[in-house]
């Protein structure tokens, strides 16, 4: 069996000190520089030690103080059985994380909560993923892998873009945490999402436009779908918190809008309210998608 990397061995030693009471709740743990000096490792390795302990919830950063032992310190009696980690795989870790985020939101996700879901020690996860950031990317890519584009595309560029946009929307709808993981401005190593980008650019590249224009169109479409989808998770959480759907919440706020309507200062808004307009995010998405593609049609004939 392969030996754990140095940062995990050091993190395990510091965890032992915490659980043994050698480092008590609220006390400072060795700094990155102190860890590097004590264990003879590079600063980068020492930084990963602190990150691993933080992910597990054993330590926390306190402004102007440093990194301290979290309160209360976890008990050794509550640790999961270690033999469960023998059957752990990266796919199992990723799926458990997806299930957790689907059920409780991405904010509830940590290396510690995923480990609890799997019934394994938190440190065992680091043999499969480097931390929460990498885990998030693996989760997102796994979701996009389940939304596969067909081998034979529809005959027109517009139909192809409609298909990929609706497929992304379906992924965001099924996993409301997903839009917050995907970046518009910083490319991420997600091969399955890259297939979506390739699909869009191939659909548009033979219509007389420069490659840069084709790429801008891809980013615009991707940004529109993601930008609309970022509203899904807050609404899901708000409905769970209040027990009210979006329409029910608006009805409950009717008295608050009364003075604005009665003032006559917002006639267009008043006319909309008088028609009992039902807000539906899926309809908003579809309306915006068609208007966006109408604009693309000026360029891609």
Domains of the chain plus CATH, in order, are 6-76 (1.10.10.10), 80-143 (1.10.10.60), 147-301 (1.10.357.10)
Q: How far is CA 196 from the centre of its chain?
A: 18
Contacts of 260 (CB under 8 A, 6+ apart): 266, 269
Q: Please give the Cα distance from 112 to 117 (Å, whole number).
A: 9
Which region, left, alpha or beta, applies to residue 117 given φ > 0 means left and ψ of -120 to 50 means alpha? alpha
In the predicted model, is pLDDT for residue 134 greater than 50? yes
pLDDT category at 30 given cuts 50, 70, 90 is confident
pLDDT of residue 64: 55
Mean pLDDT rounded to a whole number for the chain: 85
pLDDT of residue 76: 44
pLDDT category at 94 given cuts 50, 70, 90 is very high
Both structure tokens of 131 = 């931390």
- Scanning the structure block, which residue is given the tokens 């609220």? 26
In the chain, which ranges are continuous DSSP H helix?
6-19, 32-39, 43-55, 90-104, 111-118, 132-145, 157-174, 178-181, 191-204, 211-229, 232-242, 246-252, 254-262, 267-274, 281-296
- Scanning the structure block, which residue is given the tokens 């006639």? 267
Residue of 216 and 271 predicted with greater confidence: 216
pLDDT of residue 73: 43
The average pLDDT across 58-71 equals 74
Window from 77-86, 87-96, 207-216 with minimum mean pLDDT: 77-86
pLDDT category at 77 given cuts 50, 70, 90 is very low
The average pLDDT across 47-51 equals 82
Query: pTM to 2 decimals?
Result: 0.69
Q: Please give the Cα distance from 141 to 156 (Å, whole number).
A: 27
Percent of the chain residues topping a pLDDT of 90? 47
285, exposed or middle or buried, with CB in 10 Å at 0-12, 13-18, 19+?
A: buried
């Amino acid at each position: 069996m392969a030996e754990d990397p140095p940062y995990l061995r050091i993190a395990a030693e510091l965890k032992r000190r915490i659980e043994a009471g050698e480092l008590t709740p609220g006390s400072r743990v060795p700094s990155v520089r102190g860890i590097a000096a004590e264990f003879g490792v590079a600063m980068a390795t020492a930084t990963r030690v602190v990150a691993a302990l933080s992910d597990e919830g054993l330590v926390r950063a306190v402004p102007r103080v440093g990194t301290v032992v979290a309160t209360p310190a976890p008990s050794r009696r509550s640790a999961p059985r270690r033999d469960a980690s023998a059957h752990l795989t990266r796919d199992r870790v990723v799926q458990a994380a997806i299930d957790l985020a689907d059920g409780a939101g991405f904010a509830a996700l940590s290396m510690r909560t995923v480990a609890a879901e799997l019934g394994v020690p938190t440190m065992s996860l680091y043999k499969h993923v480097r931390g929460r950031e990498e885990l998030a990317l693996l989760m997102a890519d796994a979701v996009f892998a389940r939304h596969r584009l067909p081998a034979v595309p529809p005959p027109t560029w517009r139909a192809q873009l409609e298909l990929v946009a609706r497929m992304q929307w379906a992924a965001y709808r099924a996993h409301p945490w997903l839009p917050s993981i995907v970046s518009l401005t910083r490319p991420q190593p997600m091969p399955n999402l890259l297939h979506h980008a390739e699909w869009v650019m191939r659909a548009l590249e033979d219509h007389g436009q420069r490659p840069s224009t084709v790429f801008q169109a891809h980013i615009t479409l991707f940004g529109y779908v993601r930008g609309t989808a970022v509203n899904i998770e807050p609404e899901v959480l708000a409905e769970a918190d209040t027990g009210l759907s979006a329409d029910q919440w608006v009805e409950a706020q009717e008295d608050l809008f009364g003075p604005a309507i009665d003032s006559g200062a917002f006639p267009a808004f008043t006319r909309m309210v008088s028609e009992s307009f039902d807000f539906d995010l899926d309809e908003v998405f579809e309306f915006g998608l068609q208007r966006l593609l109408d604009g693309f049609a000026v360029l891609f004939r």
